Amino acid sequence: MLKEVMGPLKSVGLTETDVKNLWTAFSNALREHGMDPNEYKELFNIMIVRSKSYEENLRWMLEEIKSLRGYAREG
């Protein structure tokens, strides 16, 4: 009965392929801003929210790069 009310359950979250693709996108964005992705690998691993979609993670990470860029200029 619950299935009839709620419909099929849709899995929300990241696959390992999503994580690899996020790292690629994150790395490319860092390079575009003149930053070395290897310096941010640990931060990337902390930033991932596995319960959210690829798109949500990517949008948030790209916003954070703007902050990182400003921080990197100051330091």
Integer CA distances (angstroms), 15 to 12, 19, 46, 58, 62, in order: 10, 6, 16, 14, 19
**Would you say residue 1 has pLDDT above 80?**
no
Note the pLDDT of residue 68. 80
d(CA 37, CA 40): 5
pLDDT tens column, 28-67: 999 998 999 999 999 999 999 999 999 999 999 999 888 8
- Assign 13 a pLDDT band (cuts: 50, 70, 90): confident
